[in-house]
Amino acid sequence: MTIAVVGAGALGLYYGALLQRAGSNVRFLLRRDYEAIAAHGLQVYSTGGDFHLPTVSGARTPEEIGPVDLVLVGLKTFANDRFAELITPLLHGTTVILTLQNGLGNEEALAELFGADRVMGGVAYLCANRGEPGCVRHLGKGRVLLGEYGSSDTTRPERIAELFRAAGIDCRAVNDLSRARWEKLVWNIPFNGLSALTRCPVDRLLATEEGRTLVREIMLEVIAAANAQQLSRPIPDTYADDMLRFSASMGPYRPSMLIDREEGRPLELASIFDRPIERGRQRGVPMPRTAMLATCLHLMTGQAPQDA
């Protein structure tokens, strides 16, 4: 199977490397890491075992890659306006596009451009970051939930999940992609937002009673909005407590939005904040703390709120 990785940040490099190691023909669309990878290949430091890929197919343009069977989209969502330019050259008649991006609206944007039947979505729980050029550091976890977006072929998620599992990735297919996305938002909205706003890693957000209380209140707003979206089954409020317990073990983990801020990138506000808030509003679920957090992030960054 030929696979193109578009958006070769930590997530794209790590999963792409695992898929190549397992035998797939993987081609990476690169920018920052192009020269280092061309010269030295790709080095993966992982809690599951380090490895090195001496020969990696990197390209600077999608035209150099050409049509593939599967496009893995790991772009930061603030770059979604480049979908047409970056993905069109990668498509043949039956290419599947799998977005592993954060938040809401990514499948919809891909479907509008390329047709819904090509599009799948996935939710990645991955602690990884890019190291020096040519390296990626996997700090733990790595579960992926895959779901169908627009095809009536209900076996497709399971086939792709099997490909991922064969590469050593903890992966399973789910029948309700929307629910999986909202579940991840229960974590992403408070932790990404508050860490980017206050520059606190996860342990400092949870070090005080008032910090824990605020995180939990925001989680409950997200759960309430999620449960108004006709999910296959509701997310229980106890999920907030499960996530808090899980997060307490993460130590000084820096959520991706904090890293984006520290490295001077735009923040993924449209997909992680604006669209979820708008979906809640459409169903009559107010999210006052989430909305205040979004407003503060808009003010801090100068990024305007996006229409959903």
Q: Does 299 bind a copy of itself (CB under 8 A)?
A: yes
Asked if 140 touches a copy of itself (CB under 8 A), the answer is no
Catalytic, out of 130, 184, 275, 279: 184
Q: Residue 66 has which token pair?
A: 């050409």
Nearer to a copy of itself among residue 164 and residue 191 (C-beta): 191
Burial of 69: CB neighbours in 10 Å, binned 0-12, 13-18, 19+: middle
Distance, CA of 271 to CA of 260 (rounded, Å): 14
In the complex with a copy of itself, the residue whose CB is nearer, 161 or 293, is 293
Binding mask 260-289 toward a copy of itself (x if CB under 8 A, else -) reads: ----------------------------xx
Per-residue mark of binding to a copy of itself, 179-198 (x: CB under 8 A) = ---------------x--xx
Minimum distance between the CB of residue 81 and a copy of itself, rounded to whole angstroms?
A: 21
| Whether residue 141 lies in the annotated active site | no
The residue among 10 and 197 lying less far from a copy of itself, judged by its C-beta, is 197
Asked whether position 214 contacts a copy of itself by CB under 8 A, the answer is yes
For tokens 């008032």, the residue is 210
Q: Which of 4, 161, 200, 219 binds a copy of itself (CB under 8 A)?
A: 200
If the CB atoms of residues 65 and 270 are measured against a copy of itself, the closer one turns out to be 270
CB-side neighbour CA atoms (13 Å) of 144: 28
Q: Which is nearer to a copy of itself, 116 or 220 (CB)?
A: 220
Q: Which stretch binds a copy of itself (CB under 8 A): 157-165, 174-182, 209-217, 220-228?
A: 209-217
Using the rule CB under 8 A, which residue among 1, 84, 248, 292 binds a copy of itself?
A: 292
User: Active-site residues: which are they?
Assistant: 184
Footprint of a copy of itself (CB under 8 A): 194, 197-200, 204-205, 208, 210-211, 213-214, 288-289, 291-296, 298-300, 302, 304-305
